[in-house]
Structure 1
């Protein structure tokens, strides 16, 4: 069964999976078609104007797009800090076989993802490369797949785009606030039993799964390709002959400048901001940690610029999701329900208060294959989900928080077979999607069961 599932998903990706940017375009056209079909009095000029307002006009999500890009870049920059690199080197000396290596890389990725999804995305793979330098008998694709499996927890953590949007009334993606004038804090989404329990179960159960699916025929590691390729992520500059000190070089290595920024930033975070969890405070926190651990300005600059290379796809796609969001809310005339309300009404017909979160979860799993970004995903599905909850008379922050987390769970689980976020770690590891996909299918099956059951039980 495992071999058949592996082959099926490999064939699907190789034949039918275009770049996610093209998915965003296709989804835009689909929403336009649904507007003409389900929303009376829809006009071509009205649709085009609504789309323009969402992409470049008054309803754009440019601020949110930059915020999510900074979350990724700051997290990846932090993973390159010398202190973290040294810690990973010490951890890499512990595993004695490939199962231990896989479990360690999974836990590193999972815990890192709970703190910052950019950090969690790469730290497990960096650890896998360090282990590969020391451990001869291991299937590198299997261990890197385990590291990527840790990413399944990111939507349950402190940098989840949906969670951060819910807590910020000024966010363009705080759909709950737009519809109800309420904010949903972390006590109503990530600090709940239906979120904490499946995360703990995942951390406990996945190591057993990794032992079960460990390959018996170990493929040799191509060390020359792995450690000499230009795909390695490093903050260390190439060694250069000693140069005389200049005013510029002194400033570039003036650690006191980093320290001044760090002290001022932490004063603000723990003082006036009271440690509040919002998108901006998370960016602030991980920027400060990066400045502190890289120590000198030039080291941080180099690491940040290297990390920013992975953000191009986000900057390209997010504006299109803003357009989709505007098309979902398009009203040709007063008194006519927009598409998001029409779809929500249909969803409510098949749902109860108890089953609505699970039905949203199923829908989220499907949408993730087309919209592999948590923020963009929420822009598409969020309005329908919240409208459906309101139609059932549910307006409490606790219930709306659960609805939003049901969407987040689907995003995290189906990222296991959506290659969009796997591409950066594959480039870092020098692998292809074929090398990890079969293992990730098993992570999908286990994760789907764990998180779906939590929505129904709690």
Structure 2
């Protein structure tokens, strides 16, 4: 037994060293996304200079012509991120989270509930899911102390479930392709409704299978109670702290009374939600697009917060999540301008065609975009770069554009499990290091990667 224990310790130490080295490499060599978009601009410019007949000045013209192309898309993405935060930040949602957390009484049932709730919510809206997974995870850590739930494992499950199940109706690429007037509408010969992408039989089946596969892996990996490291007392006190209520202020000015009144937000929210109900009654989900999603969650945010003061306070916090989109999307649009206008898209398309067949192309897109995601972790901005050539190559190979979008959105989620960019919000919230969760998130990456490989090889052009 002593020899076995020693061998196990040696194996764990070796695994730990590998994890530490990988994490150190990521943190040392994967720069902030702003640095990467600047570097990528230079790389694409040089590629176009070498592989196309556009000269240095013409390429600058190409960059400038595309620079403002994504202003509408950037605003749409900002509203999606803010509206998701605002809904999840409401008192109603937070009180519901506490009731859900208190319902299961065992570690396995708690983790099962956690995976299913986070998975379903993330599929509907990744922004709400991100917030909910953090808030619910911290509540589980506090309220389930003594059950033996390993704290780093809990944080890893929160992160990986969000990464995997975010490939739903709020993903940027499918919503963009369904939105009238998008900059790729002419490229693919029209709109691609969500019923062919996020709501397609292929992707819906794939996501349902993943939704059930995640809890199975969680049950298998769940550390035993005797090996669990729970939340310490100091963090438990910090997470459980409730700020004191401000109470009603007497002798308010009329303007202050309106700021605290639920009348106007509730009235507007009900009118907006009535219109949403009418839209779905007349159109179903086929015409659902980015604008409709934002409209719906904007109304829900108003209704849930009730007062202008609460709503605006939450919006101010949510705006902090959008600075990358605001400042980086014009640069990505400039890159798109170079790729599209210089002819570089055709060159890269030819490269893809040369290494692909109809049967393998969708999987190649999954792998390629997963690799790119390690450096450009925003699915929306990365799609701007990749779309001109991955969609064109798919058309040449006979792979439907909607299935290329499905392959892209699936691959865009994979690398998030093993790179630290999107994990930063979780690490800050749970007070952990990336090294603490990577051993578990890597296994989720492997599971999701295997399932994606099988799905896109068996159905290379969709169902």
TM-score (norm 1): 0.89
CA distance in 2, matches of 1:13, 1:133: 31
Deviations 1:343-385 (A, max 9, x none): 1112112222222111111111111011111111111111111
Match of 1:70 in 2: 79
Aligned length: 438
Deviation (angstroms), 1:250: 1.5
Deviations 1:94-136 (A, max 9, x none): 3445444443333232211111110011201100111122222
CA distance in 1, matches of 2:305, 2:174: 28
Secondary structure (helix, strand or coil) at the match of 1:329 reads helix
Distance 1:416 1:437, change over 3 A: same
Match of 1:205 in 2: 213
Match of 1:259 in 2: 266
Spell out the pairing of 1:272-283 with structure 2 (5 A cutoff). 274=283, 276-283=287-294
Secondary structure (helix, strand or coil) at the match of 2:417 reads coil
Spell out the pairing of 1:303-318 with structure 2 (5 A cutoff). 303-318=314-329
Contact 1:53 1:323 in 2 (8 A): yes
CA distance in 1, matches of 2:245, 2:67: 41
Secondary structure (helix, strand or coil) at the match of 1:180 reads coil
CA distance in 2, matches of 1:426, 1:226: 16
Match of 1:356 in 2: 361
Match of 2:379 in 1: 374
CA distance in 1, matches of 2:33, 2:44: 16
Deviations 1:9-50 (A, max 9, x none): 3232232222121121222222112112211x2311112222
CA distance in 2, matches of 1:248, 1:162: 42
CA distance in 1, matches of 2:83, 2:262: 19
Match of 2:229 in 1: 219
CA distance in 2, matches of 1:28, 1:66: 22
**Alignment of 1:185 onto 2:193:** yes
Match of 2:428 in 1: 427
Match of 1:144 in 2: 155
**Alignment of 1:50 onto 2:58:** no
CA distance in 2, matches of 1:378, 1:364: 9
Match of 1:247 in 2: 254
Contact 1:140 1:221 in 2 (8 A): yes
Secondary structure (helix, strand or coil) at the match of 2:320 reads helix
Match of 2:451 in 1: 450
Match of 2:296 in 1: 285
Of 87, 94, 105, the residue aligned with 1:85 is 94
CA distance in 2, matches of 1:326, 1:307: 30
Of 298, 301, 309, the residue aligned with 1:298 is 309
CA distance in 1, matches of 2:97, 2:239: 20
Q: Which runs of 5+ in 1 are unaligned?
A: 332-337
Deviations 1:412-447 (A, max 9, x none): 111112322222222222323222222111111111
Deviation (angstroms), 1:295: 1.8
CA distance in 2, matches of 1:92, 1:428: 18
Match of 2:411 in 1: 410
Distance 1:44 1:228, change over 3 A: same
**Alignment of 1:325 onto 2:330:** no
Contact 2:142 2:231 in 1 (8 A): no
Match of 1:334 in 2: none
Deviation (angstroms), 1:238: 5.7
Match of 1:27 in 2: 40
Deviation (angstroms), 1:290: 1.3
TM-score (norm 2): 0.88
Of 258, 262, 276, the residue aligned with 1:269 is 276
Secondary structure (helix, strand or coil) at the match of 1:157 reads coil
Of 388, 400, 404, the residue aligned with 1:383 is 388
Secondary structure (helix, strand or coil) at the match of 2:321 reads helix
CA distance in 1, matches of 2:81, 2:165: 12
Deviations 1:173-217 (A, max 9, x none): xx2x22132111112112223212221121111112112323453
Deviation (angstroms), 1:293: 1.5
Q: Which moved more, 1:243-252 or 1:360-369?
A: 243-252
